Amino acid sequence: MSISPNAPPNEAKPPSPASASRRVRARVFEILDVAAEGDRVSRVADRVLIALITLNVLAVVFESVESIHHRFETLFYWFEYVSVVIFSAEYALRIWCSVELPARNGQATSNRIAYLLSPGALIDLAAVLPFYLVEFGLMAGADARFLRAIRLVRVLKLTRYSAALDSLALAVKENINTLAAAFYVMIIVMLLAATGMFFFEREAQPEVFSSIPASMWWSFATLTTVGYGDITPITVGGKVFGAMITMVGVGMVAIPAGILASAFSQQIKVRSERYQAQADLAWQDGILSDDERNELESLRTALGMGEEEAAQIMEAEETRAALRSRAGGTPHCPTCGQPITRQDLDISA
């Protein structure tokens, strides 16, 4: 291929359609992702989607009131129609942009399949699927009120914008085996409780404790410490056995709660340590530039940290950087001469 001698030597080549499409896709991915610091378009998109999800949840709640539903039935229908169009477009765009996620085997198809099977994508699909099932007559025999209630799954879309819920989900994910073991033990104890109560009460209350499966309701209500009181033992053996199961139930319920509380606390600690490490890195040269400050603010927002907690960490890191600068390296205590650590500055998580 020859080059025209009249062509300017430094003439820029126009971008190819493929590269332009990639740039547009990357930008759409940034807009649909949780907004970064300074990205106003992405922040507006986040707020619009959050507001639309909230309004959808309120619409489902008020639609359950028959008088309100009959009065504003047309308004509810068109609001649902517009919402489904927006949520469907969002779902399609997220599938299209999923190749911008960390590569899986270097193939766009692998990324898209992985995204389609992810919890976020399944929630997005469940948010619009009931509408299409009804519109295309695939659920003609189903209860319309039940299908309307299913739309409450849209509230789960808010988890994408909440760092606290992300931390809770991660805590559950990392401790799923421990939680499964705790629930497994609870099922065994529940079965033993139902069996014992059936043995003690079957003759005194045959209509209530007629079988082990029928006795499961009592064991479930007792072990979860709910104790509705609609089913109670009346024999001496049943009362003694019930008292023992009640005490066991208090401890059994505390196990999963303790696991979740500990795991969530650990996630909060990891979050603080991550911000602290980034702040320490930013203060290594003793100067905090505007870019570094913006990066730290973006990280703080992404981690869901409070401004006061972040300010305390930044103040301690700034003090440590000043002491390090005066000492020409690692800061030392002017009294004892020992190196000053983060623990000494009371910024540990």
198 contacts 243 by C-beta, under 8 angstroms: no
Does residue 334 register a pLDDT over 70?
Answer: no
Asked if 69 and 149 sit in the same domain, the reply is yes
We report the CATH number of the domain holding residue 182 as: 1.10.287.70
Asked if 109 and 207 sit in the same domain, the reply is no
Whole-number pLDDT of residue 6 = 54
Per-residue pLDDT tens for 282-332? 888 777 888 888 888 877 777 777 778 888 888 888 888 777 766 555 554
Residue 61 in tokens = 């709640």
201 contacts 235 by C-beta, under 8 angstroms: yes
Does residue 137 register a pLDDT over 60?
Answer: yes
Per-residue pLDDT tens for 20-54? 788 888 888 888 887 776 778 888 988 898 899 89
Asked if 122 and 182 sit in the same domain, the reply is no
Q: What stretches of the chain show up as alpha helix (H) in DSSP?
A: 17-32, 40-63, 66-71, 73-97, 108-116, 119-135, 144-150, 163-174, 176-201, 212-223, 236-282, 290-303, 307-327
Asked if 93 and 27 sit in the same domain, the reply is yes
**262-281: average pLDDT:** 84
Structural domain boundaries, residue 231: 178-256
Does residue 110 register a pLDDT over 80?
Answer: no
Per-residue pLDDT tens for 198-209? 989 888 888 888
Whole-number pLDDT of residue 349 = 41
The alpha-carbon radius of gyration of the chain (Å, integer) is 30
Asked if 140 and 200 sit in the same domain, the reply is no
- Kindly state whether residue 299 falls inside one of the protein's structural domains: no
How is 152-170 classified by DSSP, letter by letter? GGGGGGGGGG-HHHHHHHH
- Interatomic CA distance for residues 142 and 137, integer angstroms: 10
Asked if 44 and 78 sit in the same domain, the reply is yes
Going by pLDDT thresholds of 50, 70 and 90, the confidence category of residue 88 is very high
CB count in 10 Å sphere of residue 313: 23
Asked if 128 and 229 sit in the same domain, the reply is no
- Kindly state whether residue 317 falls inside one of the protein's structural domains: no
Whole-number pLDDT of residue 177 = 87
Asked if 26 and 154 sit in the same domain, the reply is yes
- Kindly state whether residue 324 falls inside one of the protein's structural domains: no
Asked if 38 and 154 sit in the same domain, the reply is yes
- Kindly state whether residue 322 falls inside one of the protein's structural domains: no
Asked if 70 and 152 sit in the same domain, the reply is yes
We report the CATH number of the domain holding residue 108 as: 1.20.120.350
Asked if 24 and 145 sit in the same domain, the reply is yes
Whole-number pLDDT of residue 20 = 79
Q: Model pTM greater than 0.75? A: no
- Kindly state whether residue 286 falls inside one of the protein's structural domains: no
- Interatomic CA distance for residues 149 and 130, integer angstroms: 10
Among 256, 271, 289, the domain boundary falls at 256
**257-279: average pLDDT:** 83
**Domain count within the chain:** 2
Going by pLDDT thresholds of 50, 70 and 90, the confidence category of residue 348 is very low
- Interatomic CA distance for residues 271 and 300, integer angstroms: 9
Per-residue pLDDT tens for 235-264? 898 889 888 888 887 777 778 878 888 888
